[in-house]
Chains A and B, each alone.
Chain A
């Protein structure tokens, strides 16, 4: 069975600083990987996804993530954050070919300070 571990429950960062939110996954088969963002009192919104091909994936709002198969990681990065990026971020994994469900990590709360 697959699992997802988000290594930080909270990440405080100053505005305009870079940020990395870490995600490791465990699976014996190939996976699809996703990052979602949840703003207060809203549902989750897809930020980006890795299906195949280039290991560097660009998403919305200036975020990008890099798939590292050897380290089974899919870390999310942004070179310069804004106050409006304050939200909860979820890493998720779906199994290739057998996935009718997606497993979500516990979430990382990004708090951007002025």
Chain B
């Protein structure tokens, strides 16, 4: 157990729907990062939050949004889902606010299947 908790582990939904993925960071970590892993794109950085504030954006679509709450858990919202959004979504946390100096701790991921 890495200490980063992601729910749900699996999610199957239809095109056009909206889903919410949840992540609880490791105790003491203030930064949360979201990554999308697919066979054709590899591991792509989506977005980072630090202590409730957005810090960096990567290749995140406008249909996707995220937030980090006061208790530091984070949610990734995916809307108007398309078949191509099917992927593994990972959350990672780190102790550092700017730059993962000591590396990330990853959760076990949420596998999203859009049918």
Contact = CB atoms under 8 A, between A and B. Distances in A.
Q: Do A and B bind each other?
A: yes
Contact of B101 (A51, A98, A101, A106): A51
B42 A104 contact: yes
A51 B105 CA distance: 17
Contacts of B19: none
Interface stretch (A16-24, A39-47, A61-69, A74-82): A39-47
Interface in B88-112: 90, 92, 98-109
Interface in A45-103: 45-46, 49, 51, 90, 94-103
A100 B55 CA distance: 7
B115 interface: no
A43 B108 contact: yes
A100 B99 contact: yes
Interface of A: 32, 34, 36, 41-46, 49, 51, 90, 94-107
5 smallest beta-carbon distances between A and B, as pairs:
A43-B106, A99-B99, A46-B103, A100-B56, A104-B43
21 contacts: A36-B103, A36-B104, A41-B108, A43-B2, A43-B90, A44-B104, A49-B103, A51-B101, A96-B99, A97-B99, A98-B99, A100-B48, A100-B50, A101-B33, A101-B45, A101-B56, A101-B58, A102-B45, A104-B42, A104-B43, A107-B43
